[in-house]
Amino acid sequence: MNTAEDFQSGQVLLIDKPLTWTSFQAVNKLRWEIRQAFNIKKIKVGHAGTLDPLATGLLIICTGKMTKQINTFQGQDKEYTGTFILGSTTPSYDLETEIDQTFPTAHISETLINNATAQFIGDIEQYPPIFSALKKEGKRLYEYARAGEKVEIKARTIQISEFEITKIDNNTIAFRVVCSKGTYIRSLAHDFGKALNSGAHLSALRRTKIGDFDVKNAVSPEDFIATLALQ
């Protein structure tokens, strides 16, 4: 049983973020529930790495003095699973926006798909999506995108140590990837489509690991809140 002092001295909570929740919402919800459960006026709570609303999976949430470890956790390699859809692109590189272009896929074979993964292993240059929370001149990139404004985005060097195709079902490609901090899987989907001479976008994403932390050991926000009710 955790106490108010436990949360203030520092806890590392492994949360399985639900679909459509923002990481910010998850932090706010848990902070509020901890404060209510123990009648705490103020407590530090933060997360170690944003997940998009359309992604699910492992979110490390730190409380109290453990928030000082957030940068350490953020710097660790991450593992994701998910699916790409071949033959079409969206401005956000995922399902947040509507399809804007379609491409032929008749030329794509299983061999071509598997061979294409090789060019994404190691240190690669990647352009973040325009629909992202990165800042440029004080504004987040998605603010420019939603206003229809063009903005120059610089490539960043990221590292992908593992990238495998786990299932091919027509134009739906299931994958697993292990990558460094700063990698955008949406950009990987977009670039993978280009490598196949056909568009692609991300249709599902789940973060399964951060360093040695595994989503198998995570709980839903609801289950965590239920444990607070037992204190």
Single out the residue of 158, 177, 8 nearest to residue 81, CA to CA. Answer: 177
What angle is formed at CA 59 by the lines to CA 58 and CA 60, rounded to 5 degrees?
A: 115
Single out the residue of 204, 211, 222, 214 nearest to residue 83, CA to CA. Answer: 204
Query: Cα–Cα distances in Å, from 214 out to 14, 67, 78?
Result: 8, 19, 10
- CB count within 10 Å of CB 218 equals 21
What residues form DSSP beta bridges with 51?
Answer: none
Q: Distance between CA atoms of 36 and 201, rounded to whole angstroms?
A: 41
Length of the chain: 231
Instruction: Provide the token pair at 73.
Output: 């956790």
Active site residues: 52
**R_g over Cα of the chain:** 19
What residues form DSSP beta bridges with 210?
Answer: 78, 213
Maximum C-alpha span of the chain: 62
